[in-house]
Amino acid sequence: MAKGFLLFAAVFLVPSGCIWQLCSRRKVFLAGVRGFLLGLVCLLAELGQPALGLSDPCQEWNRLQALVRDGGLSAGEARQKVVELHWELLETFGKREHAHRAAFPLEGGSWRDLGGKAGSGFVAKGYDFYQGNRHGGHPAHDIFFPDRDRDSLHDRTGRPVGVLAFLPGVVVGLNVGWEPNSQIRGGNYVWVFSPSMELYCYYAHLKDVFVQVGEWVEAGQRLGTVGRTGKNAHPSRSPTHLHFMCLSFDQGGMSPYDPYKELVQLGGR
Residue 146, domain CATH: 2.70.70.10
159 contacts 147 by C-beta, under 8 angstroms: no
What is the pLDDT confidence band of residue 12, given thresholds at 50, 70 and 90?
very low
Mean pLDDT across the stretch 217-232? 96
pLDDT at 37 over 60: no
Mean pLDDT across the stretch 112-132? 94
pLDDT attached to residue 90: 96
Task: Tell whether 82 and 158 lie within a shared domain.
Answer: yes
Instruction: Say how far apart CA 98 and CA 258 lie, in whole Å.
Output: 23
pLDDT at 233 over 60: yes
pLDDT at 205 over 70: yes
Q: Which residues contact 22 (CB under 8 A, 6 or more apart)?
A: none
Task: Tell whether 207 and 93 lie within a shared domain.
Answer: yes
Task: Tell whether 44 and 63 lie within a shared domain.
Answer: no
Mean pLDDT across the stretch 209-233? 96
Task: Tell whether 64 and 30 lie within a shared domain.
Answer: no
- Tally of structural domains, the chain: 2
Say what the pTM is.
0.79
The conformation of residue 252, written as its DSSP 8-state character, comes to G
pLDDT attached to residue 225: 98
Residue 23 lies in domain: 2-49
Task: Tell whether 38 and 157 lie within a shared domain.
Answer: no
13 vs 209, residue with greater confidence: 209
Mean pLDDT across the stretch 61-82? 97
Q: How many CB atoms lie within 10 A of CB 13?
A: 8
Task: Tell whether 72 and 29 lie within a shared domain.
Answer: no
Task: Tell whether 133 and 199 lie within a shared domain.
Answer: yes
What is the pLDDT confidence band of residue 11, given thresholds at 50, 70 and 90?
very low
Mean pLDDT across the stretch 75-86? 97
Task: Tell whether 157 and 99 lie within a shared domain.
Answer: yes
Task: Tell whether 124 and 175 lie within a shared domain.
Answer: yes
Task: Tell whether 227 and 163 lie within a shared domain.
Answer: yes
Task: Tell whether 122 and 218 lie within a shared domain.
Answer: yes
Each residue's pLDDT tens digit, 17-31: 443 343 445 454 445
Extended beta strands in the chain, E state: 140-144, 162-164, 169-175, 188-194, 199-209, 216-217, 222-226, 241-248, 255-257
Task: Tell whether 36 and 106 lie within a shared domain.
Answer: no
